[in-house]
Structure 1
């Protein structure tokens, strides 16, 4: 089952600001009057970085497979076996941990291995958590307001 990410305005504005800032930095060598080979290399690298950031933000989804939770965000891929998930915490927190989100309303998944935890923002959080519990009934679920 595929869950799309929830998107809200503050996170989208932060992403837009970041992309514009990176792209503005790509033009600095040209503004300073240097249009040599390194300027074009820097411009190309910064533009490529922006493409990767936008792709990761736009193509963000969470897939519940038979045995694994897959998180796909552009080139970033995470694969977490259900049996390794210990705890799920639902909270509203923007800045913490390894995040693949589009919203401030998040779910933190604690698991054994890898980074140890992952912060995601599926659109239908309640249904997402219910499906995770169907896959692994031993998962502890906590709800926090902050």
Structure 2
């Protein structure tokens, strides 16, 4: 069972701002360079597309997949497998700036677990209540702090 990440206005606007700043930084110098050739424009356009593909890939393709023994959290090239037996606690969070995060919404939950270098991951699944029910089935001993 796979859940996609919820996206809210804050993250959409932030991502669009990053794309706009990247476009400005990359294309403005060419606009003022009268000696710029078509090849220059092609090279700069490829750099722009590559940079923004790297920015958008994690944002557009965040998924949370329930497997038999573990929860897979994936965003772009980053993938984490969290074994259900290692999950200790789940809590709501609005902290978007610190820690390991694979979310695109301020309406997030944080999953704490015993393994991994950070000990927790912040996620924002669509249909959060359904996600939590599925997680409770697989981790009956975890602590829920959904205040």
Q: TM-score, normalised by structure 2?
A: 0.82
The equivalent of 1:65 in structure 2 is 67
**1:77 and 2:106 aligned:** no
Unaligned runs of 5+ in 1: none
The equivalent of 1:100 in structure 2 is 102
Pair member with larger Rg: 2
Unaligned runs of 5+ in 2: none
Which whole-Å CA distance do the structure 1 matches of 2:24 and 2:131 have between them? Answer: 38
The equivalent of 1:91 in structure 2 is 93
The equivalent of 2:132 in structure 1 is 129
SS for the counterpart of 2:97 is coil
Shift of 1:70: 0.7
Which whole-Å CA distance do the structure 2 matches of 1:29 and 1:40 have between them? Answer: 14
Q: TM-score, normalised by structure 1?
A: 0.83
Count how many residue pairs are aligned between Structure 1 and Structure 2. Answer: 144
The equivalent of 2:21 in structure 1 is 21
